[in-house]
Chain A
Amino acid sequence: MNVKLYKNASSYEVVDKSLSDEIELADVRFKEAGSLNVETPVLITPNFKSDAENIAAYNYMYIPKFKRYYYIGKISYSGGLAVIEASECDLLMTYKSDLKNSTQLVLRQEEKKNRYIVDKNLILHDDFEFKIKEFGSPVYDTSCLSVVVETAGTGTTVV
């Protein structure tokens, strides 16, 4: 079978990996005949010298037979053969189309945000900011020397 090798520059949590320098190896076999370990397969190939002098620089591969992407855990050479051990299936890359086509309730997002939801991850400071602003007209006017006089009576006789 054929296997594609890549150089992966993306971090683990990236769904759609950034892959480069693809090469395709032919005549690749599983190390143990009859074994179909889809999670961490071990492959051997006799053609690495002709196909790629430097397959040791590759860290990522795709096995079309499984339709899975793998992180390469180890590449060794034995008896003229290259042994490529997958360390882990990259589930995010393998099922990226399913992920992207799914609709999820997004709790946090780098670009889509609701500013008015309390963000408890935010580091708040103790040094509160105080602002004081006077406004409006004076409520009273001390230059206005007015006196209210309250009297009783009808004042029928004017004097």
Chain B
Amino acid sequence: MNYDILEDYQKKYKITDDTALDAEDIMVTAQHTRLYSYKNGPNTVQHQFLLPSFGTIANTTNSIVRDTFNTSMGVCFKNMKRVSGVRYVGLVTDVKDDGGLAFKIIHNDSATRNINSNSSSHLNSSMSLSTELEKPTGTSFANFPVGDGNGTMIYEDTHETWDDVLTLQNNGAVSTNTSYILSKQYLSSNSASNFILANNWQDVLTSYSNNYQASYIDINVAAANGIAINNQKIGTTASNATNWDIKFFAGLGDSTATTSYQIKTDCYLPYKNYPFYWCHYVADPLEDILVQIKEGLASELYHGEDLRVGYTDERWYSYYNADGNTYRYFAVGETLLSDSQYFGADANINGRLTPFNLVLTTDESQAMDYLSTGTLPDDAFCFYFENSADPTAWDTQSKHEEYKNDYQTDDNDDSDESERSDERPRTTPSTMSANAATLSNNNYYWLTATQFSDFIRWFWDDVGDMNDFSDFINIVQGLYENLEQSIVGVRFYPVSSSYLSLSTVTKINLSRIARGNVSVSAINKTVQHRVLIGSIMIKEKTKNFLDYHPYTKLSLYLPLYGFIDLDTNFFMGYRLKVFCVYNPIDGTLQYEIFCGDTLADTVVADMGINIDLSLSSAREQNSAMMRNITGMASGVASLAGAAAATAATGGAAAPMLAGSATSALSSMSNMSAPSIQKFGKSAGNGKYEITARCALYRINTTYNRPDTYGKTYGFPCYKSYKLSDLSGFTRCENPTLTFSGDSKPLKHEVEKLYSLLKEGVRL
């Protein structure tokens, strides 16, 4: 156990026993490789370290955990499992030389989840996971619960590794139809009628619609279209599924074939309303994956942004790309459970897994090139270990490569990067208990297209109809008059609900009446989510003054806002983080630009597109538009199962408020990030035409420095030295000499000596 590393980390990040870490810290932690943990509380066993990502511990007296698990970043380690879940924390028990670590999971709920017989009420040790993903020895692991939702432990006793799975298969422990994935349910209830087979993803979706659930999914990407589930999908009925966990292995290729390779990612996905849940993920380092690919087929490549495991609102992406069309890309470890009826996870499980040392690209040719030559793809997306080369750093091949490394190869370099002693306070965002929204009696609802369609239909077609006596009374009381004026605003705000703070309500207030019998989301007026939307390390390239202002310039492109210039000197060597604070109430999006943990800038972008439909003067005019939108929403609803095909009919985004709303939405859903040359200030209805991702622009000064430069001019030094300690070309400032020997120089000779030292001598 390298405690020094952990101690250093603790000092570096000023982690104290009272420090609550959030997901951002996890990210930072992960980026700093092994240093993901810190010393446990004083009353527990010394030299144990918490893994700061695993949810809430009820009793935090002796432990350090973050309060909630509600942001988007997860943590993962090379060759590590991630175990997360409410009331679990990890204790680091060993650090491997290869960057992995072993840790124990501790658990605090002895009443219902007593993992270990000798556990106490809190912080009971339960299991150990080795970095090599070996099945831990001893009995503790067998007691690791995966849960069944009914308070009964189901003990996972096998297939912790891929080999385990295959071994079980070979031993006949599972059906031959289950080539990769084991189903505990299957093992205990081996009834073929409970399972279906699917030949492709659409079949799986169909199985969902037929109330069959694919519990364990075997993927053979080598099949047609790259994502076909060529082998077996095992499902069961929805009723059975309610007692299930899901285990998901994503595999590349057929394990039985000679060109097999697997990206092993397993995760337990809990059921909706599941009281406790666990997820653990396994991801091999990319280098291993690429090696495997290199030996076999190389046609299955990976889309970087999709290489995440975790909950993303209603989109449990599986092994197809986010746009739903491009099947050639393989999203590792995300599962698409479009029908969240049975599989929707609790929103708390927002954690995403980002495997390290994975190089991801969307360009097949460049990926092939990477495999053969090691040239990093232009769009490479990579997370890396601190102690390994970051292939995405800015030090890719220079046009002036022959001069680039002059500084870097200097062992005698006297400049000390550690001398940078910035003092940068950590910025802790605060929230207000009241704001303009809370002081008004306005209500804010976040409606899906279908819900909005339903609302519009009700508003225009149903409300005010005299169906019964109560309607008569309402009409007499004038409740239905000028209702349109009660709709203060309607705006298109295309963001996932996971980025918002919502609560479910059963009515939509409108003046003195309310549309009842609905289940929609109301927007919290005070809580605004801060989402770490992206981060990027800004590294020195030439490792000299040219990396700084004015020789290097940095600009940050923020979608829907435009460009902001970054202070190069401030950001260099730090991680740039972009947080988004979504404010659907006023339709804005606030960017918070962090340099490390310090707030550097904030800007506000207009995100929503206002839809004018509330003014009475525009009632007639807007009627058609609203009905268009209604139709639009209906159209979208009908697109739910086959969005890709319909989306292709889209055109420009402009017709959002006029013309065919269906086509307008189609174009929205069909949008994709254009080439980077199209970046620019975005505004109006067309603003979503531009890429939705942040981008860092960097302009580096190039230079020409021949090999003899140091001998000819010397390098800037500006430090006092005894000349006997130096060799080579040396120039001195205002030299002074004392002469100790019998032979003294003449006055003009002394001046000449000074002149020579100023001009440069060779020692």
Contacts and interface: CB of A to CB of B under 8 A. Distances in A.
A70 B508 CA distance: 102
Given A102-B723, A109-B726, 16 more contacts: A67-B743, A97-B740, A104-B723, A104-B733, A109-B714, A109-B730, A115-B545, A119-B545, A128-B699, A131-B394, A135-B696, A140-B495, A140-B560, A140-B688, A140-B692, A157-B474
B487 to A, nearest CB: 6
A33 interface: no
Interface in B473-497: 474, 479, 486-497
A132 B700 CA distance: 11
B735 A104 contact: yes
Contact of A114 (B448, B523, B608, B716): B716
A155 to B, nearest CB: 3
Contact of B494 (A67, A98, A129, A146): A146
B535 interface: yes
A15 to B, nearest CB: 5
A16 B544 CA distance: 32
Interface stretch (B10-18, B222-230, B232-240, B578-586): B578-586
A106 B717 contact: yes
Nearest to A12: B756
B257 interface: no
Interface stretch (A1-9, A51-59, A78-86, A88-96): A88-96
Interface string A48-70: 00000000000000000011100
B757 A152 contact: no
Contacts of A127: 399, 702
Interface stretch (B45-53, B99-107, B166-174, B436-444): B436-444
Given A119-B715, A122-B705, A138-B692, A106 B731 contact: yes
A159 B743 contact: no
Nearest to B544: A115
A77 to B, nearest CB: 30
Contacts of B440: 152
B448 A91 contact: no
A115 B705 CA distance: 14
Contacts of B426: none
Contact of B443 (A104, A110, A153): A153
Interface stretch (B89-97, B284-292, B509-517): B509-517
A105 B445 CA distance: 70
B696 A132 contact: yes
Contacts of B741: 67, 95, 97-98
A91 to B, nearest CB: 5
20 contacts: A39-B746, A103-B721, A106-B718, A108-B731, A122-B703, A124-B703, A129-B699, A130-B697, A136-B533, A137-B305, A140-B589, A142-B668, A142-B688, A150-B487, A150-B489, A152-B488, A153-B509, A154-B509, A155-B511, A155-B513
Given A100-B723, A139-B559, A110 B494 contact: no
B695 A139 contact: no
A156 interface: yes
Given A108-B731, A111-B728, A113-B414, A100 B763 contact: yes
A108 B379 CA distance: 41
Nearest to A100: B724
A134 B676 contact: yes
B514 A129 contact: no
A69 B410 CA distance: 35
Interface in B690-716: 691-705, 709-711, 713-716
What is the size category of the interface that chain B forms with chain A? 35 or more
Residues of B contacting A: mostly: mixed
Given A95-B739, A150-B585, A110 B728 contact: yes
A92 B523 CA distance: 82
A123 B548 CA distance: 16
A159 B729 contact: no
Given A134-B691, A155-B507, A101 B724 contact: yes
B415 interface: yes
Contact of B508 (A111, A116, A155): A155
A129 B397 CA distance: 11
A26 interface: no
B446 interface: yes
Contacts of A115: 407, 413, 415, 543-545, 715-716
Contacts of B523: 148
A113 B717 contact: yes
A98 B730 CA distance: 16
A97 to B, nearest CB: 7
B756 A149 contact: no
Contacts of B509: 151-155
B354 to A, nearest CB: 11
A35 interface: no
Nearest to B462: A159
Nearest to B443: A151
Contacts of A104: 720-721, 723, 732-733, 735-736, 757
Q: Which are the 6 A-B pairs with shortest beta-carbon distances?
A: A136-B534, A155-B514, A110-B728, A155-B509, A108-B714, A113-B715
A157 B507 CA distance: 10
Contacts of A143: 323-324, 494, 643, 668-669
A143 B392 CA distance: 29
Task: Choose among A104, A122, A130, A149 the residue with the greatest number of B CB atoms under 10 Å from its CB.
Answer: A149
A117 B398 contact: no
A135 B455 CA distance: 37
B428 interface: no
A151 B493 CA distance: 16
B566 interface: no
Contacts of B607: 140
